[in-house]
Amino acid sequence: MRQAKPGVAGVGTACVAFVGNPNAGKTTLFNALTGLRAKTANFPGTTVERRQGRVMLGGRVVELLDLPGLYSLAAATPEEKLAKQSLLGEVPGQAKPGVVVLIVDSTNLERNLYLASQVLEMGLPTVVALNMWDLSQKRGLHIDTKKLGEELGCAVVPITARTGWGVEGLRRELELVIDGLSAPASSDAVSLPTAGGCSCSGCPFSARYEWAEGVGGRCTSGQVASGGSKTEKIDQFLTHPVIGVAAFLGVMFGVFAVIFWIAQYPMDWIDGLFTTAGVLVSRYVPEGDFQSLLVEGVIGGVGGMLVFLPQICILFFFLSLLEDTGYLARAAFVMDRLMRRVGLPGKAFVPLLSAHACAIPAIMAARVIEDRRDRLVTILVAPLMTCSARIPVYAMVTALLFWHEPMMGALLFTCAYSLGIAAALVMAFVFKRTILKGESRPLVLELPGYKIPSLRNAVITMFDRARIFVRKAGTVILVISIVLWALATYPKSDAPMEAVTISQQAEVLAAAGEIDAAVTLKAQADRITNRHALAHSFAGRLGRAIEPAIRPLGFDWQIGVGVVSSFAAREVIVSTLAVVYGVGADTAGGDPDTFRETLASAQRSDGTPVFTTATCVSLLVFYVLAMQCLPTQVVTRRETGGWKWPAFQWGYMTVLAYTGAFVAYQVTSALVG
Amino acid sequence: MPSQDDCKPIDDSSLVSAADALLERVRVDELAPGQCATVCEVDVSEASAGQLMAMGVCEGRRVELVKCGDPLILRVLGSRIGLSARLARGVLVEPCTTTACPTDGPTDRN
Ligand SMILES: Nc1nc2c(ncn2[C@@H]2O[C@H](COP(=O)(O)OP(=O)(O)O)[C@@H](O)[C@H]2O)c(=O)[nH]1
C-alpha cells in the first residue's frame, strides 16, 4: 500500500504494542483481537513474558505485542524495564512499535492516566482504548471521550473488551493511525506534566498524579453510583483473617477435588492411546532394537510426559477463572501473614498448593511473585509437595505394609503428604536465611473490584500453558527417555538357560495343543529373560554400582535399578520393580494381588525378605523427598533462565531424600527390629 | 504488630482526636478505619517505595484507611490496595480534618 514510514516495524509489518495497568482488561482485549493465534514467549534472556500475534488490519498484516501489565514505566522492576525498552525499540530482535494501544480502565481514570502520561511522553502514535465501558456506564459515570482525546492528544475509543463492544471501532481507529503514520505527530497542543513542573519537592510522581486528577476531573461528570460497595461487602468476609483463610482453603479444596475428579478421564485416555500406539508399533515394526526404542523409549517417554497435560490444563483453567474474578488477590492478601512466618509472600501460597496436583504448573504459576528471591525459593521447594505422580509409589508401599487395612493406609498417605509439606516449609525457611537471604518483599497488592470471569480468557490461558509445556518439555524429555531406554537395554545379554528351557517346554506344549499352558510358560520365560536383560544392562550395573551407597537406606541393587530408571519420572519405579523382581511390567497395574505377593516374597541373597517394614518406610520417605521428575526440571530451567537452579534443586532434594531415607531406615529398624 | 483487635471503630472521639492531631504526623496504620489523610513521607525500601508510588501512595496524595490489621487496606485514587503492616509503618500521613474524603476518584462510594 503506502510506502514504508520511519518508525514502522520491519518491512511492511507494523507492530502495535499493548500497554496498560494490571486488571485494566489488556488480556481480554488482546484475546479478542488475536484469539488462539497469539504465542507466549519470554523476552530474550529473561523470564518476563510477552505475547505476540499477527492479525489482519485493513488488508495488511499487523504484529500485535502484549507487554506485561504495569502501574508505571519507572523501570524499577524487570517488567517495567522491558516494557520501556520495547517501546523504545531496544529489545534485540524486536522492532520498535509503530503504534501503542493504551488500555485505560474507565472506572478508575486517575490511576490509569498516571501510566498514560508516561506512555504519551514517549511520543509514539497512541490510541487509547477506554475499557470497562459497560461498568462505568452502569455506575452513571459520564466520560467525555472527545474532551479526553483532546487532553491526551490522541484518539480515545470506548470499548467493552469482555463483550467485544467497540472493538470494531478500535480496529478502525488503529487502521487510520497505521495508515497515517507518515503524518507529523499531533501532540502539539498537549500539556503533559514534566518533572520541571513538579509542585512538591523531590517527588516527580506527584505532578503526574495532579495532572491525571485534573484531566480525569475535567472529562468526567455524573452522579457516581456506589460501584465499589458490592466488592467491599464481599471483602468484609473474604479478607477477614479467619473467615478469609477458611474460604480460601474451601475454594482450593474444591478446585483440587475437581482436578482429581475430571483429570483421571483424559489421563486414562492418554494412557490408553499410548498403550494402543505401542501395541500397533509392535505389530507392524519388526521385533528388535528399533521396535523396542520406539515402544519403550519414544512412545513410553512421550506418553509419560503427556499424562500430566490434563492436570496442567485444568489447573490453569481454574486459576485463570479465579484470577479474573479478582479472587486470587484476596487469597494472597489473607495468606500473606501466615506465609511470612517461613519468609515467603502470600502470593507463594497458590503455587505451593497447586504443586499438590503437579509441580509443573505450580512452578509456572510462581511468576506472580514479584521478588526474584521469593520466586526462586518457591520454585525450589514446590516439588517437595506430593504431586499425583507420587501416588502410585505411595500406593505400592501401602500395599506392601498395610494390605487390606484402609485406615492404616490412609494414615500412611497423610503422613507422606505432611512430610512433603513440612519439608517444603522448612527448606523455604532455610533458603531464605542462607543462599537467598533477605526479607520477603512486603505486600503491596491491588484488590481489584470483583468481576464475572471470562471463559474465553480461561480457555486461551489453558491452551497457552499447555503449548509451552509440550514444546519446552517435549524435546528434552524425548532425548532423556531415549538415553534411559538405552541404559536399560544395552549391553544385550543372551537369554539365560532357565528361560531357554522353559520356552522349549512351551513349544512342546503348544505342539501338543495345550495352548493355555503354553502361553503361561512362555510368559514366564519372557519374565525371566527381561529380568536377566535388565540386570546385565547398564542400568542394572549402575544399580549394583550404587548398592554400597544405598545399602544404609535398606535398598538392594534391584531397588537401585528402580531409583536409577525413575530418574526422569518417579512413578517408573513401580514398573521397574515389577520387571526386576520378575512380575512382568504389565502386571504391575493390572493385577495388584500378584504384584504385591511377588514383591512381598522377594528375598535378598541371604534369604531375608527385601521389603521389610524399615525398607518400605525408607523407600516411601525417599520418594516423598526426591526430585526424580525430569519435566519439572525442564520447567524450572525455563522459569529460572538456566541450568544452575534445576541442578541445585536436584542436588538438594537428593541429599534430603538420602538423609531422610537413611534416618527413616535406621530408626525404623531399631524400633521394629 | 497491629491485629484485628486494634481496629478502632470510627466514632466521634477518634474523629475529635484526629482533628486535634491536625498537622501532626501519624503512621498510616494508626488511622481509624474510614479516616483519610494526606501522605507526607514514604520511608520504605527503594523497591517497595517504587511500587507504592506507582499505585498512588506518594507525597501529597490522599489515602483512606479502609480496613486495619496486617495486611491493611487503603483506598488510593479510587482503587483499593492491600499493604503489609510493615510497610504501612513507614508511611507517614497528616490526617484530614473532615470525615469524608472530598475528592477521591470516581469509584468513591456515595
Ligand atoms: N465488565 C467488564 N469486565 C471486563 C472488561 N474487560 C475485561 N474485563 C474483566 O476484567 C478482568 C481482568 O481482565 P484481564 O484482561 O485479565 O486484565 P489484565 O490484567 O489487564 O490483562 C477479567 O475478569 C475480565 O473478564 C470489560 O470491558 N467489561
- Quick check: helix, strand or coil at residue A536? helix
User: What is d(CA A180, CA A383) in angstroms, rounded to the nearest whole number?
Assistant: 53
pLDDT for B26-40, tens place per residue? 999 899 898 889 998
Nearest to B55 by CA among A447, A122, A199, A68: A447
Residue A42 has pLDDT above 80, yes or no: no
Residue B108 near chain A (CB below 8 Å): yes
Residue B48 has pLDDT above 70, yes or no: yes
pLDDT at A101: 95
pLDDT interval class at B15 (50, 70, 90): low
pLDDT for A347-393, tens place per residue? 898 889 888 878 888 898 898 888 889 999 999 999 999 887 887 78
Ligand 1 atom with minimal separation from the A135 CA: 1
pLDDT at A553: 94
pLDDT at A183: 53
Residue B104 near chain A (CB below 8 Å): no
Say if the Cβ atoms of B53 and A72 lie within 8 Å: yes
Residues 59-78 of B with CB under 8 A from A: 59-61, 66-67, 69-71, 73, 76-78
Distance in angstroms between the alpha carbons of the first and the last residue of chain A: 86
Nearest to A277 by CA among A291, A264, A267: A291
Which of A220-229, A395-404, A614-623, B44-53 has the least mean pLDDT?
A220-229
User: What is d(CA A625, CA A606) in angstroms, rounded to the nearest whole number?
Assistant: 30
Find the mean pLDDT for residues A157-182. Answer: 89
Burial class (CB in 10 A: 0-12, 13-18, 19+), A673: exposed
Burial class (CB in 10 A: 0-12, 13-18, 19+), A341: exposed
Residue whose CA is closest, atom 10 of ligand 1? A25
pLDDT at A429: 93
pLDDT at A182: 53
pLDDT at A100: 94
* Of A451 and A531, more confident: A451
* Domain presence at residue B49: yes
Say if the Cβ atoms of A336 and B84 lie within 8 Å: yes
- Numbers of helices and strands, H then E, in chain A: 30, 10
Nearest to A618 by CA among A401, A384, A389, A402: A401
Beta-sheet pairing, B62-67 with B36-42: antiparallel
ipTM given for this complex: 0.76
A414-435 core/surface letters (b: 16 or more CB in 10 A; e: else): eebbebbbebbbebbbbbbeee
Give the distance (Å) from ligand 1 centre to CA of residue A29: 8
pLDDT at A666: 95
User: What is d(CA A108, CA B79) in angstroms, rounded to the nearest whole number?
Assistant: 7
- Quick check: helix, strand or coil at residue A347? helix
- Rg, chain B, Cα only: 13
Partners of A226 on chain B (C-beta within 8 Å) are 109-110
* DSSP-assigned letter for residue A569: B
Residue A173 near chain B (CB below 8 Å): no
* Domain presence at residue B7: no
Of A206, A227, A232, the CB nearest to B59: A206
Which of A491-495, A650-654, B12-16 has the least mean pLDDT?
B12-16
pLDDT at A375: 92
pLDDT at B108: 39
Most confident listed range (A424-428, A595-599, B20-24)? A424-428
Give the distance (Å) from ligand 1 centre to CA of residue A105: 9
Q: Answer whether the bond into residue A44 is a cis peptide, omega within 30°.
A: no
pLDDT for A583-626, tens place per residue? 655 544 445 566 777 778 777 767 788 889 999 999 999 999 99
pLDDT interval class at B22 (50, 70, 90): low
* Domain presence at residue B6: no
* DSSP-assigned letter for residue B110: -
Interface test with A, best of B5, B39, B44, B51 (most A CBs within 10 A): B51
Of B54, B87, B105, the CB nearest to A442: B87
H or E, element range at A53: strand A49-57
Partners of A344 on chain B (C-beta within 8 Å) are none
Q: Which amino acid is at A522?
A: K
pLDDT for A233-246, tens place per residue? 899 899 998 999 89
Q: Across all residues in chain A, what is the average pLDDT?
A: 84
* Of A294 and A594, more confident: A294
Say if the Cβ atoms of A72 and B83 lie within 8 Å: no
> What's the structural domain count of chain B?
1
pLDDT at B17: 53
Is residue A225 within 8 A of residue A139, CB to CB? The reply is: yes
The distance of Cα A492 from the centroid of its chain, to the nearest Å, equals 39
Q: Which of A19, A23, A28, A138 to mutate to test the pocket of ligand 1 (most atoms within 8 A of CB)?
A: A28
Nearest to A241 by CA among B110, B7, B80: B7
Count of residues making up chain A: 673
State how far residue B83 is from chain A, nearest Cα, in angstroms.
Answer: 5
CATH architecture entry for A11-225: 3-Layer(aba) Sandwich (3.40)
* Of A159 and A575, more confident: A159
pLDDT for A498-519, tens place per residue? 888 888 888 888 888 888 888 8
Provide residues with CB under 6 Å of ligand 1.
Answer: A 20, 22-28, 69, 131-132, 134-135, 160-162, 324, 451, 453-454, 457
pLDDT at A126: 93
The set of residues, in sequence order, having a beta carbon less than 8 Å from that of A150 and lying 6+ positions away, is A189
Q: What is the pTM of this model?
A: 0.78
Residue B58 near chain A (CB below 8 Å): yes
Give the distance (Å) from ligand 1 centre to CA of residue A131: 8
* Domain presence at residue B79: yes
Residue A446 near chain B (CB below 8 Å): yes
Partners of B59 on chain A (C-beta within 8 Å) are 200, 202-203, 205-206
Say if the Cβ atoms of B53 and A205 lie within 8 Å: yes
User: What is d(CA A546, CA B69) in angstroms, rounded to the nearest whole number?
Assistant: 55
pLDDT at A8: 40
- Numbers of helices and strands, H then E, in chain B: 3, 6
* Of A17 and A577, more confident: A17
Ligand 1 atom with minimal separation from the A161 CA: 27
Is residue A602 within 8 A of residue A610, CB to CB? The reply is: yes
Residue A635 has pLDDT above 80, yes or no: yes
Of B47, B56, B67, the CB nearest to A239: B67
Instruction: Give start and end residues of each alpha helix (H) in A326-348.
Output: 327-340
pLDDT at B58: 83
Distance in angstroms between the alpha carbons of the first and the last residue of chain B: 32
pLDDT at A223: 59
Residue A184 has pLDDT above 90, yes or no: no
pLDDT interval class at A572 (50, 70, 90): confident
Partners of A443 on chain B (C-beta within 8 Å) are 71, 82-84, 87
Say if the Cβ atoms of B56 and A209 lie within 8 Å: yes
- Quick check: helix, strand or coil at residue A41? strand
In this structure, the dihedral spanned by the alpha carbons of residues A635, A639, A640 and A644, taken in order and rounded to 10 degrees, is 10
* Of A571 and B31, more confident: B31
In this structure, the dihedral spanned by the alpha carbons of residues A596, A601, A606 and A610, taken in order and rounded to 10 degrees, is 20
Partners of A445 on chain B (C-beta within 8 Å) are 71, 81-83
User: What is d(CA A308, CA A311) in angstroms, rounded to the nearest whole number?
Assistant: 6
A184-208 core/surface letters (b: 16 or more CB in 10 A; e: else): eeebeeeebbeeeebebeebbbbbb
* Domain presence at residue B15: no
pLDDT for A326-353, tens place per residue? 998 998 899 888 888 888 988 898 889 8
Partners of B51 on chain A (C-beta within 8 Å) are 71, 76-77, 370, 444
Percent share of chain A, pLDDT over 70: 90
Q: Where are the domains of chain A?
A: 11-225, 494-529
Of A108, A203, A336, the CB nearest to B58: A203
State how far residue A479 is from chain B, nearest Cα, in angstroms.
Answer: 42
pLDDT at A120: 92
Residue B11 near chain A (CB below 8 Å): no
How many beta carbons lie within 10 A of that of residue A182, not counting itself? 12
Q: Can you read off the three cell numbers belonging to residue A272?
A: 490408553
Is residue A111 within 8 A of residue B105, CB to CB? The reply is: yes
Q: Which range of residues forms the domain containing residue B46?
A: 24-95
pLDDT at A630: 86
pLDDT at A105: 93
* Domain presence at residue B17: no
pLDDT at B107: 41
Residue A10 has pLDDT above 60, yes or no: no
Say if the Cβ atoms of A109 and B79 lie within 8 Å: no
Count of residues making up chain B: 110
Nearest to A539 by CA among A568, A496, A500: A568
pLDDT interval class at A66 (50, 70, 90): very high
* Domain presence at residue B109: no
Interface test with B, best of A229, A440, A441, A443 (most B CBs within 10 A): A443
Q: Which of A79, A451, A452, A459 to mutate to test the pocket of ligand 1 (most atoms within 8 A of CB)?
A: A451
List the CATH number of the domain containing B57. 2.30.30.90
- Quick check: helix, strand or coil at residue A246? helix
Residue A2 has pLDDT above 50, yes or no: no
Say if the Cβ atoms of A74 and B48 lie within 8 Å: no
Residue B102 has pLDDT above 90, yes or no: no
Find the mean pLDDT for residues A396-411. Answer: 82
Q: Tell me the sheet residues that pair with A104.
A: A130
